[in-house]
Structure 1
């Protein structure tokens, strides 16, 4: 074996003892270094709600401001608390590095899960295969693009992959004792993930289905594992989103506000089930073609940003052969010297069912590429599993892995959500003091949907923000629009607009007038940040226009 020569006896003993630690240290260090080279995160969601949502939560502003971050104002803020503390307390390069380190924990989970696909003790072949699989997953374009950012998709993957690892290893106990406890811990992780981000439901469903199928194929009762998943999931969900759902329900009458409002019928939002369908495939053939589009660089079918990725189109070439082996009836044991003979059948069936079902569910419900991160980082593990089935000779397997791994890594172009150079301040907001006065009401009228929530913490605590335009347009007298109109009409202090400089369009002016406001032509000030140049103008009260009429100034 070629790899045996690489390790002396002493080196191999050292590797056997410390391989998890070594993979973790080298992998996390590499990702952190890469993130530092990319620069400071400035993604749209960070500027819209990641930062301001936590500020509003911790400063009792949840009902003080109205829709300051548009429809995202009601996303669960709890998973972003660590990011808020890091940004607020540490130099940008340090806080960004900490974000990268957290994302890097995925590396050790993927490495451990890949090893779990094989039977027996650690060998050089298994180690190198797991490293290759981890490298393929860790350089996936969406995962890599989010390293060192405030996106939590690569945090959700920690819970999903971690739960999957627990469930896969559960099958190593042949008599099923302890299944409830192990599945309960996995369910706890999944419940926490679901509470933080409900879009992970497709992966939770995939893990539950994989658990049931693997139990049945191994002639094992799925009742206890499913019970453990259910109970653990309830506890995890209650811990991560229980208080937030209670707050939304008692305030707006909808525990998922503003989503699924056709079901809960909150008077504060239209009776619709808001769903982002921008990236959903228009047909079955279009869905089948998505991986081909990603390989060609036409990433805009599932993402706002450009990227290129050959991983999923490569899986097409391996799936058919892999399915024949993994789901065929049990027969004679594979020769131990063949690659299939090294595989743990239960672990491979589990990963196969989870991966395929979750992908189909994802592309059917969302097709938003950021949500695919938990599968992206497992593409390497899934690939080597299918390769081990397809390329039965060990030498041939090693050669294919040695070619495939650098080919996938080097042809990948990760997405970019916006980066800037590190400095002393994450946001570098200036000019607020020159325009801000106590008890000022700021009406955000950026109809184009520009993310402005991040500047809220830099104004005084008595300042108040009402956003009437963006991806959630408010109308006086209707739902939250009525609340906004009431705040505007009864405000006793100064009222000012807030928008990106020179981007107030006629539709924005018209929307202001509907709320009885009009900007002053003389009293305007500028606020600069690391990302934007903002403008704030004094607003005068006017009589709202009658249909077809014009507004008049209120004396």
Structure 2
């Protein structure tokens, strides 16, 4: 009963996690299956697995049940538009809507996947982070599988360390972790292949390497090999790129009011899925419906008919909302100039020469620009030519692309009506364009 209680609590937490982020469901399934491998009789293991599974469903219902119900009542698909090949909502194509771009292309790639995405991080992520621990843990799992198979064929154990582990009270917990890790990886490999969905296993990878070495080697060798392997894997990951972070503000999301003439009868379209603009819909007047076109949604004839009916009911001005060009390098330029001035690197010709030598050795995307003023700073930092952007030309290109997309829906963009407005996430500006559309 005590074990069942703890499993019910952990299953509830796992279910809440899956409800908040559905990609975690693969790990809930992996752990539910891994519980069948712990010690005790078959019926006891099955009962514990069932307790955990029911608790997962309860946590899932608590975290996302209200949303599933709302989507079901509105669209006839609790995961709309995902898995519409199963639920067949008329407002989307009957497809599963799965991102397969990051999956292995064939069986050979699937078998070598940890090596492939370690060498080419772009196969699984937009950002590159070289994690050498994945080939290490993969090879160790294969070595353990070969050793277990050889021992089974010989009718013997798997070696001294494995035999000792089998008699240890912690062997069942180690087996649970290793089986969970393997099943979680296989589920991720089959469904996603996107690295950020693998983070739960990434956190467990060092411990998994350590446990595998304990089963494969004598204790002293296992400790030494584990220390060296984990240290080297930690070092190899540097340097790495990151998404960076926006500075904190009182309001996380802000946008200028575009001043719509009659929000109660207006309509706003969006026409690109990347970068996403759904967050902007919450900042427009609440009576204005926002409709996504040409954004990758699996549109069905019923969906298009619903859009036409909505458009016909809105007799005011129709708009299209587009992203506006912004040079994020310019945002950090002022801070870099302030830092250079504070360090005393702009007040004399000698200091400017020293600053120029420094900028030639670091990747700050800036160069040193001399100033002719007789007093004040003698130089300043300026963006290198390749990092300067013609914002007006970029906005015009975005308008032309949007006009092509809108034509497919019988709509015409009016370029002369386009205006750029401010919007931001934290301190990071994400300006947008609003243009009028002829019906």
Normalised to the residue count of structure 2, the TM-score between the two structures is: 0.72
Aligned to 1:538: 436
Q: Distance in 2 between the 1:468 and 1:410 partners? A: 46
Aligned to 2:122: 300
Aligned to 2:419: 525
Q: Distance in 2 between the 1:348 and 1:294 partners? A: 27
Equivalent of 1:195 in 19, 26, 45: 19
Q: Distance in 1 between the 2:158 and 2:102 partners? A: 45
Aligned to 1:287: 110
Q: Distance in 1 between the 2:409 and 2:299 partners? A: 10
1:331–1:281 distance in 2 versus 1, CA, 3 Å: closer
Aligned to 1:446: 271
The alpha carbon displacement at 1:313 in A equals 0.5
Contact 2:35 2:176 in 1 (8 A): yes
Aligned to 1:391: 217
1:256-267 to structure 2, matched below 5 A, reads: 256-267=79-90
The alpha carbon displacement at 1:240 in A equals 1.5
Say yes or no: does 1:253 pair with 2:79. no
1:157-186 per-residue CA deviation (whole Å, 9 max, x = no partner) reads xxxxxxxxxxxxxxxxxxxx4333232223
1:199-210 to structure 2, matched below 5 A, reads: 199-210=23-34
Aligned to 1:490: 313
1:470–1:254 distance in 2 versus 1, CA, 3 Å: same
Contact 1:436 1:459 in 2 (8 A): no
Q: Distance in 2 between the 1:264 and 1:335 partners? A: 51
Q: What value does the CA root-mean-square deviation take over the aligned residues?
A: 3.2
Contact 1:468 1:481 in 2 (8 A): no
Kindly tell me the number of residue pairs found equivalent between the two proteins.
Answer: 359
Larger Rg: 2
Q: Distance in 2 between the 1:538 and 1:252 partners? A: 30
The alpha carbon displacement at 1:398 in A equals 3.5
SS of 1:497's partner is strand
Equivalent of 1:240 in 54, 60, 63: 63
1:305-344 to structure 2, matched below 5 A, reads: 305-323=127-145, 344=170
Q: Distance in 2 between the 1:287 and 1:531 partners? A: 40
Equivalent of 1:424 in 206, 228, 249: 249
SS of 2:89's partner is coil
Contact 1:280 1:364 in 2 (8 A): yes
The higher relative CO (CA closer than 8 Å, separation ≥ 6) is in: 1
The alpha carbon displacement at 1:446 in A equals 2.9
Contact 2:267 2:314 in 1 (8 A): no
The alpha carbon displacement at 1:499 in A equals 0.5
Contact 1:339 1:392 in 2 (8 A): no
1:290-312 per-residue CA deviation (whole Å, 9 max, x = no partner) reads 2112332x112222222211011
Q: Distance in 2 between the 1:460 and 1:282 partners? A: 45
The alpha carbon displacement at 1:531 in A equals 4.1
The alpha carbon displacement at 1:451 in A equals 1.0
Aligned to 1:363: 189
Equivalent of 1:409 in 222, 231, 234: 234
SS of 2:268's partner is strand
1:334-376 per-residue CA deviation (whole Å, 9 max, x = no partner) reads 689x888877211111112111122122212221111111111
Contact 1:290 1:301 in 2 (8 A): no
Q: Distance in 1 between the 2:198 and 2:130 partners? A: 15
SS of 2:403's partner is helix
Q: Distance in 1 between the 2:107 and 2:304 partners? A: 40
Q: Which moved more, 1:370-379 or 1:352-361?
A: 352-361
1:447-526 to structure 2, matched below 5 A, reads: 447=272, 449-472=274-297, 474=299, 478-501=301-324, 502=395, 503-504=397-398, 506=400, 508-526=402-420
Aligned to 2:94: 271
1:446–1:229 distance in 2 versus 1, CA, 3 Å: same
Q: Distance in 2 between the 1:360 and 1:392 partners? A: 29
SS of 2:434's partner is strand
The alpha carbon displacement at 1:273 in A equals 1.9
1:405-460 per-residue CA deviation (whole Å, 9 max, x = no partner) reads 32111111486563245253666745x23544441635334336321122233322
1:346-385 to structure 2, matched below 5 A, reads: 346-385=172-211
1:225–1:415 distance in 2 versus 1, CA, 3 Å: farther
1:339–1:508 distance in 2 versus 1, CA, 3 Å: same
Residue segments in structure 1 that go unaligned for 5+ positions in a row: 1-176, 542-555
Q: Distance in 2 between the 1:213 and 1:531 partners? A: 52
Aligned to 2:344: none
Contact 2:82 2:96 in 1 (8 A): yes
The alpha carbon displacement at 1:382 in A equals 0.4
Aligned to 1:552: none
Contact 1:210 1:350 in 2 (8 A): yes
